Amino acid sequence: MTDLPDRIDRRTALRATGGLVGITSLSAFSGCLGGSDDDDTGGDDGSSGSGDDAPPDDGADVAYDVETVAEGFANPWGLAFLPDDGRLLATERPGRLSLVEPGDGTVEEVAGAPEVFAEGQGGLLDVAVHPDYPDDPRVYLTYAAANGAGEAATHVGTGRLSLDGDGAPALDEFEPVRVAEPFRDSANHFGSRAAFGPEGSLFVTVGDRRDTDFGPDHVSQDRSNELGATLRLTPDGDAHPDNPFVDDPDAADAIYSYGHRNPQAMAVRPETGAIWQCEHGEEDGDEVNVVERGGNYGWPVASEACRYGTDDPVAPGHDERDDAVAPVHYWPCGSGGFPPSGAVFYDGDAFPEWRGDLLAGTLAAQYLGRFTVDGAGAADATATERDPLLDGRGWRVRALAVEPSTGHLYVAVDAGDAPVVRIVPA
């Protein structure tokens, strides 16, 4: 991607203002807070919550160490802990699902994972565990898979996790339960995060499959298809009966929100039960959104991004359209952006100063973002980005999970031979 002449790198800006006081080398494996597409670059934000009027940060001086849990993963993409078990499920984009023992780093492959379309940004993507596990042992995977013509689509599938017996762990009777159609001859923008809402429905993000027809007929603005949308499903994969467009014959009944480009981070905020997402812009224009029922999030008819390699806006800003839900935080064109992947709201005991904060990974910018959050819905919520975690290590941060028993934060690094690490108190 071509750098704009006025581009300001976020980490450079933070150092210039004394924002980073504890950057350490990779070999030290310790650090201190305070001290898009996958190939987008990352930088300073110019949106809400920035500047001298930012609210105070009670979690700015938290010291932490970084420990390696296990190594040798091929582009890990999703992480999910098994409730009442303590072990961790990890997906790898080429198609492997693994069960990780955090205590000793043992990694076992889980049999029964689906065949995937592992090209471009496709492959085996996210993983989620049924909220009633182990009483309901279903595990859900999102993945790219191809049809007979070689076209691909985002899939949601589920199987029953079997950990009994002397054999390897397995997903029994795995089957696809939702295909986000139409299939496209593209290897990009599959989404694809999955998370259970507080009422037990399954939310899944689907990207726009890199549709570059930036007009009102773009797939993300066309509710008759499931691209560029957040889907809300029952645990069986059916459209939720309370979805906003179930009575509209011209709309896909699984759609919960639309007008998205490529959301690769999603988390449920415990205080409100609201669904939050981080999504890629084009040239910058990355967004943090509170996702509300029936909302149109604007892409590509409202955006803060520019066309790749230019300073030409893709579209008017969100504040110029009454029919588009504005992001609660964004990185405008020229800022360097925040190409996101993976997010959690921190609710653990290990770092009480971070409770309620949104943690989100960024890829090309190579750090873990932390945001303090105020307000509730899309209209009044704010997110203030704080000094980066894991900065200076050269890690593309792909996925996050909080260990229930300890509150330690687990991080999947995106590389062909990558570790899963955990952040623990120093």
Q: What is the DSSP string of 152-214?
A: EEEEEEEEEEE--SSS--EEEEEEEEEEEEEEES-SS-----EEE-TTSPEEEEE--TT----
Cα dihedral 70, 74, 75, 77 sign: negative
Q: For residue 11, give the 3-state DSSP assignment.
A: helix
β pairing state of 397-402 and 107-109: unpaired
Q: In what order do the strands lie in the sheet with 138-146?
A: 124-129, 138-146, 152-162, 170-184
Structure tokens given for 204: 């899944």
Letter string b/e over residues 339-350, b meaning 16 or more CB atoms within 10 A of that residue's CB: bbbbbbbbebeb
User: By C-alpha distance, which of 330, 208, 211 is closest to 277?
Assistant: 330
User: By C-alpha distance, which of 139, 166, 158, 141 is closest to 83?
Assistant: 139
Asked if residue 236 lies in contact with residue 157, where contact means CB atoms within 8 angstroms, the answer is: no
Q: What is the DSSP string of 70-113?
A: EEEESSEEEEEEPTTT--EEEEETTTEEEEE-TTT--EEEPBTP
Structure tokens given for 222: 């066309």
Q: How far apart are CA 18 and CA 417, in angstroms?
A: 34
Torsion of CA 297, 303, 307, 312, to 10 degrees: 160
Q: Is 189 a residue of the active site? A: yes
Selecting among 189, 240, 280, 408, the annotated active-site residue is: 189
| Segment holding 13, helix H or strand E | helix 10-16
- Secondary structure (H, E, C), 249-302: CCCCCCEEEECCCCEEEEEECCCCCCEEEEECCCECCCEEEEECCCCECCCCCC
Please give the positions annotated as active site. 189
